[in-house]
């Protein structure tokens, strides 16, 4: 990997904001999408900004993800392309989700330039809201030390924290004090750096080594965390117990960047039954919980989107009952995506695993009649 080096003036945020302002001046872009603190000061919102004065005080590296960036992008471009050249600065998971939405035909990416950065993780939204000022400091410290202690559980085990399929990537790992790397991932990114007159041919071995190291560390964390979670969710009893406090508000689905359906199947008429349906079920078991579709909702949603789940953790942030829903989905997503050899958001050219196939694949999951049943018969004889 090769890229360029950018010196940090004062602090990282200011450097990036100045970089964007320069990009405006150099006519590389006409607008930018990045988070800014809302007027009440205790949370952040994505803004599409054209006016440089509004850019002042924006937060390219927010301590929380209140709204998944992919949702922001698709709200802008679901109905067609933008004409202005727009730069979007987002967490890697948000960019990965955007790419998935593009594959699902829920956004168009013409004229959009994506900028990502090595992500230290973010704080849980509810924790942050309890004391925004103090948590700003906590996050700042954690960000500098790459300490994921206070970050969200899925951030702690995220291995895709660096260099997604963005156009430009900000490398913070393995740099000397006072410097960051700007790494072009596409021809657009290269042009961008050229416009700035930056030499994009500096070798980035240190960065790569550092990323690998952190990846390994996170990989190990992930293994431990997943083992621990498995004991809580494996088997119907355990899973039901973990989901027992679910109130079926469907917040997880609504904030999920990949769940793009305007009307979820589980909210639709297909899930409205006559009273007999409930009563006969209840008579079989003595009682049924109401609403009766908690488990089918979660498992069904899983079957709809798990191959595209980017483990961004927004669902867990939005859950009023603190169910570790993002961790459960991460566990299943990991396995599913491994089997399908698919990583969501890895490559925009890669087709969704559910719309493509090879004739000679996944045979280990088949149980051909000739092999299983004939053998059984033979042994019976």
- Judged by CB under 8 A, the chain residues 232 through 261 that form the site for other proteins are 240-242, 244-245, 247-251, 254-255
The least distance separating other proteins from the CB of residue 206, rounded to whole angstroms, comes to 35
The least distance separating other proteins from the CB of residue 331, rounded to whole angstroms, comes to 19
Does residue number 279 form part of the binding site for other proteins (CB under 8 A)?
yes
Does residue number 263 form part of the binding site for other proteins (CB under 8 A)?
yes
Residues in the chain: 381
Among residues 286, 358, 365, 378, which is the contact residue for other proteins, using CB under 8 A? 286
Contact positions with other proteins (CB under 8 A) in 109-148 = 125-126, 129
Among residues 318, 325, 328, 331, which is the contact residue for other proteins, using CB under 8 A? 318
Does residue number 33 form part of the binding site for other proteins (CB under 8 A)?
yes
For helices 69-77 and 92-103, the axis angle rounded to 10 degrees is 40
The least distance separating other proteins from the CB of residue 134, rounded to whole angstroms, comes to 17
The least distance separating other proteins from the CB of residue 102, rounded to whole angstroms, comes to 15
Does residue number 94 form part of the binding site for other proteins (CB under 8 A)?
no
What's the N-to-C CA distance of the chain in angstroms?
Answer: 63
Among residues 10, 187, 231, 287, which is the contact residue for other proteins, using CB under 8 A? 287
Does residue number 296 form part of the binding site for other proteins (CB under 8 A)?
no
Q: What are phi and psi of 229, to 5 degrees?
A: -65, -35
Kindly tell me which of 125 and 193 has the beta carbon lying closer to other proteins: 125
Kindly tell me which of 214 and 252 has the beta carbon lying closer to other proteins: 252
| Burial environment of residue 172 by CB neighbours within 10 A (0 to 12, 13 to 18, 19 or more) | buried
Pairing of strands 179-184, 168-171: antiparallel
Kindly tell me which of 188 and 288 has the beta carbon lying closer to other proteins: 288
Contact positions with other proteins (CB under 8 A) in 172-211 = none
- Furthest C-alpha separation in the chain: 84
Coil, helix or strand at residue 169: strand
Strand partners, 114: 88
- Interface with other proteins (CB under 8 A), residue total 72
Structure tokens at 281: 């079920």
Q: How far apart are CA 174 and CA 158, in angstroms?
A: 19
Contact by Cβ (8 Å): 64, 128: yes
Which stretch in 11-19, 155-163, 285-293, 333-341 sits in contact with other proteins by CB under 8 A? 285-293
Q: Which helix (H) or strand (E) holds 71?
A: helix 69-77
Kindly tell me which of 13 and 208 has the beta carbon lying closer to other proteins: 13
Does residue number 317 form part of the binding site for other proteins (CB under 8 A)?
yes
Does residue number 7 form part of the binding site for other proteins (CB under 8 A)?
no
The least distance separating other proteins from the CB of residue 108, rounded to whole angstroms, comes to 8
Cβ neighbors of 145 (< 8 A, separation 6 or more) are none
Does residue number 85 form part of the binding site for other proteins (CB under 8 A)?
no
Tell me how many degrees the CA angle 68-178-181 measures, rounded to the nearest 5: 55
Does residue number 269 form part of the binding site for other proteins (CB under 8 A)?
yes
Lay out the site mask for other proteins across 59-78 (x = CB under 8 A, - = otherwise): -------xx---xxx-xxxx
Structure tokens at 219: 């990989």
Q: How far apart are CA 91 and CA 345, in angstroms?
A: 12
Q: What are phi and psi of 37, to 5 degrees?
A: -65, 135
Within 10 angstroms of residue 217's Cβ, the number of other Cβ atoms is: 13
Kindly tell me which of 84 and 223 has the beta carbon lying closer to other proteins: 84
């Amino acid at each position: 990997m090769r890229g360029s080096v950018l010196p940090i003036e004062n602090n990282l945020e200011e450097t990036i904001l100045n970089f964007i302002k320069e990009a405006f001046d150099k006519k590389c872009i006409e607008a930018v999408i990045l988070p800014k603190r809302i007027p009440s000061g205790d949370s952040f919102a994505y803004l599409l900004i054209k006016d440089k004065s509004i850019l002042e005080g924006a937060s390219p590296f927010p301590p929380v993800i209140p709204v998944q960036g992919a949702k922001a992008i698709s709200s802008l471009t679901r109905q067609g392309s933008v004409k202005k050249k727009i730069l979007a600065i987002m967490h890697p998971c948000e960019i990965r989700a955007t790419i998935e939405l593009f594959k699902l035909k829920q956004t168009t990416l013409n004229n959009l330039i994506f900028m990502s950065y090595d992500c230290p993780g973010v704080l849980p939204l509810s924790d942050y809201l309890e004391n925004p000022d103090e948590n700003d400091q906590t996050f700042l410290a954690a960000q500098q030390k790459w300490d994921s202690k206070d970050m969200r559980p899925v951030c702690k085990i995220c291995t895709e924290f660096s260099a997604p399929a963005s156009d430009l990537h900000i490398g913070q790992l393995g740099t000397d004090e006072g410097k960051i790397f700007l790494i072009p991932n596409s021809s657009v990114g290269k042009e961008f750096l050229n416009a700035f007159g930056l030499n994009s041919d500096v070798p980035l071995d240190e960065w790569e080594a550092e990323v690998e190291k952190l990846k390994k560390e996170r990989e190990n964390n992930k293994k431990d965390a997943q083992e621990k979670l498995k004991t809580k969710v494996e088997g119907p009893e355990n899973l039901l117990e973990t989901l027992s406090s679910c109130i079926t508000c469907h917040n997880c689905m609504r904030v999920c960047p990949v769940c793009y359906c305007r009307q979820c199947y589980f909210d639709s008429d297909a899930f409205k039954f006559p009273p007999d349906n409930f009563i006969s079920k209840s008579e079989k078991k003595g009682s049924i919980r109401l609403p009766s579709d908690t488990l089918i909702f979660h498992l069904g949603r899983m079957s709809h989107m798990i191959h595209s789940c980017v483990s961004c953790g927004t669902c867990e942030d939005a859950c009023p009952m603190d169910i570790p829903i993002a961790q459960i989905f991460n566990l299943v997503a990991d396995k599913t995506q491994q089997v399908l050899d698919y990583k969501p958001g890895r490559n925009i050219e890669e087709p969704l695993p559910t719309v493509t196939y090879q004739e000679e694949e996944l045979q280990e999951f088949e149980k051909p009649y000739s092999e299983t049943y004939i053998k059984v018969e033979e042994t019976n004889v």
